[in-house]
Structure 1
Amino acid sequence: MTSSPSADARHRPVMLAEVLAALAPRDGGIYVDGTFGAGGYTRGLLTAAECKVLAIDRDPQAIAGGATLVADFPDRLTLVEGRFSDMESLAARFGITMIDGATLDVGVSSMQLDEAERGFSFAKDGPLDMRMAQAGLSAADVVNRAEADELTRIIGILGEERKARAIARAIVRARDEEPILTTGALVRAIEKATGKQRPQERIHPATRTFQALRIHVNQELEELARALSAAERLLKPQGRLAVVTFHSLEDRIVKRFFAERSGKLPSSSRHMPGREAASAARFTPLFKGHQQPGAEETAHNPRARSAKLRAGMRTGAEALPLDLEGLAVPLIEGRRH
């Protein structure tokens, strides 16, 4: 059994060496780190080459925490608060129209999980929030307002939870007694349907429900698809895109994106004018399939265990229009914009 991650592991970027190898940063290049977090990938890029980085994060705490790194690289690092799906317009704000590479580390950060007041983790009792940008609809809003059928869809589709209907009903019964406002209260409601974690179970019964609510609140899967499409438009020919995912829903979108854009799948876009144009490769794979972290990394950082890296190099073919349905982005009522 691997021990708990150290404080240092919390800030260690997952598969840093592999991401840098995929991006192959060069002097004079311009790169986008779409998920700045604690700045691990950004620092890696800036250290590996005399390049410039536009780093993006939707979490204001991450932006504030990056001030020291900006001071270390004042002429080469631009740090901006925003969604990585908006990287094209954010780049344009700083006069950037084309880039040499982009990296995305998808999902919740270790720092967010470890802060009870953010409400991301069932292991720490705190306000039921889960908002990466700390604005808009919260997990408490969803849990206390959504009808049982909608909760079932959220938990079943975005959490891939087999007991979704029973959990949704248990949540409704619990909130009828009093509002569910903390992570602990939500865990107790879930356990009414699933029972408490048994010693032989590696995954806590609340894991998939918390994942589903976090993805729903932050529109993570749609954001991912839009970010991939934005990177496709921004990258120069021979520019590189590296994406690290942590669960099957994310990886499915990234895998389909690269397969379609490399000509391995017919284009799903309804907007392409002809078969020949649609089948032209937009990316060439940088390696076969995906890469995963090595045993040494997972021993030091157990949260890296489920990570998958996929990467491709941009060709000169015109970018395909975004088709969320074609990329298998689930539709949950009330969240797609």
Structure 2
Amino acid sequence: MASSHVPVLTERVLGLLAPALVDHPAVVVDATLGLGGHAEALLAAHPELTLVGLDRDPEALRASGERLAPYADRVRLAHTVYDQMPAVLAELGLTGVDGVLFDLGVSSLQLDEARRGFAYAQDAPLDMRMDASTGPTAADVVNGYPAGQLARVLRDYGEERFAGRIAAAIVRERERTPFTSTARLAELVRGSIPAAARRTGGHPAKRTFQALRIEVNRELDALRDALPAAIDALRLGGRIVVLSYQSLEDRLVKQALAGRARDTTPPGLPVPLPGHGPQLRLLTRGAETASEVELAANPRSASVRLRAAERIRLTEGAA
């Protein structure tokens, strides 16, 4: 499966990272290794490159490890969440890197394996853990959260207009029988949303499943911590590329990159202060989307938003 996986926007990712990787023994962190498609392309394009691959999913690490076996002497894999990047780099003795790649959201492995419980279109155990060896499941959230907390999760992480109605329906139904399957939850969500609202916007359960997945895996909390750490790890001239697939992720990425691309001199001073200039140069105008050619070759690129930046100033004590 890993060898047949087609990663999103591969050529664009390679092109954006290339200026930081050519003509020297560079280091790239693939913070969301998944099935290793981007990593394989980077290693093939840059013979001196060392790639540090992070993933919380043990199954993904096994699959990508097999895919990247021809480059094993230049690959370092770690079973961890991307907000632990500083600890991984410290353990490897790396004080700085030349590139960081995030390909956020659910991996193809997780979506295509029905038993993982990520897909509302297939009946499966209500799990949704990216690392199935640890932590609460989606069933724990659905069956254990009070109605108000459950509504907050659906509203904040799924941008679900009918969060309160869905949460109330879940609480009523779980008192009869706890939720254990994706199909039962998806059907309840469908029935909780007014018929007029079900006619547009895709599957009615899409937003609820997104919200539960984010809550179970602490995705936004981890990303909020990981982005500044990744920027801090970049050497001068290093580049960061982030692919996100929903507005909450993209908003965090936009804020993190734009915040470091501004001069932080206090307003009202006649000249910029030394050490307060931008740390990053933005490499994209807003968020880039997939071309028609990319969409035809890889339908999963439909919702992708790509942002990238280059490190142009180091803070004191940085690599």
Length-normalised TM-score, structure 1: 0.85
Shift of 1:230: 1.3
Q: Which runs of 4+ in 1 moved over 2 A?
A: 7-10, 195-202, 264-267, 275-280
The answer (yes or no) to whether the contact 1:284–1:315 under 8 Å persists in 2 is yes
Distance in 1 separating the partners of 2:6 and 2:265: 38
Give the whole-Å Cα distance in 2 for the aligned partners of 1:307 and 1:33.
Answer: 17
The 5 A counterparts of 1:81-120 are 81-120=79-118
Aligned to 1:49: 46
Deviations 1:129-159 (A, max 9, x none): 1111111011100000000000110001110
Q: Residue in 1 aligned with 2:171?
A: 172
* CA distance in structure 1 between the partners assigned to 2:156 and 2:113 by the alignment: 26
Q: State the 1:276 CA deviation.
A: 4.5
Question: What aligned pairs does 1:238-249 form with structure 2 within 5 A after superposition?
Answer: 238-249=237-248
The TM-score normalised by the length of structure 2 is 0.90
**CA separation of 1:265 and 1:214: change in aligned 2, threshold 3 A:** farther
Out of 8, 11, 17, the residue aligned to residue 5 of structure 2 is 11
1:1-337 superposed matches below 5 A: 11-24=5-18, 25-26=21-22, 27-50=24-47, 51-134=49-132, 135-194=134-193, 200-263=199-262, 276=273, 279-318=276-315
| CA distance in 2 between partners of 1:46 and 1:214 (Å) | 31
| CA root-mean-square deviation | 2.4
Structure 1: 5+ residue stretches without partners: 1-6, 268-274, 320-337
Q: How far did residue 70 of structure 1 move? A: 3.7
C-alpha spacing 1:39/1:196, structure 2 compared with 1 (3 Å) = farther
Seen in structure 2, the aligned counterparts of structure 1 residues 265 and 306 have a Cα distance that, compared at 3 Å, is: farther
| Local SS of the residue matching 2:72 | coil
What CA distance in whole angstroms lies between the structure 1 residues aligned with 2:264 and 2:185?
41
8 A Cα contact 1:36 1:42, kept in partner: yes
Q: Secondary structure at the match of 2:236?
A: strand
Q: C-alpha distance in 2, partners of 1:46/1:184?
A: 41
Give the paired residue count. Answer: 307
Structure 2 runs not aligned, ≥5 long = 267-271
Quick one: which amino acid aligns to residue 190 of structure 2?
E
Q: Deviation at 1:266? A: 8.6
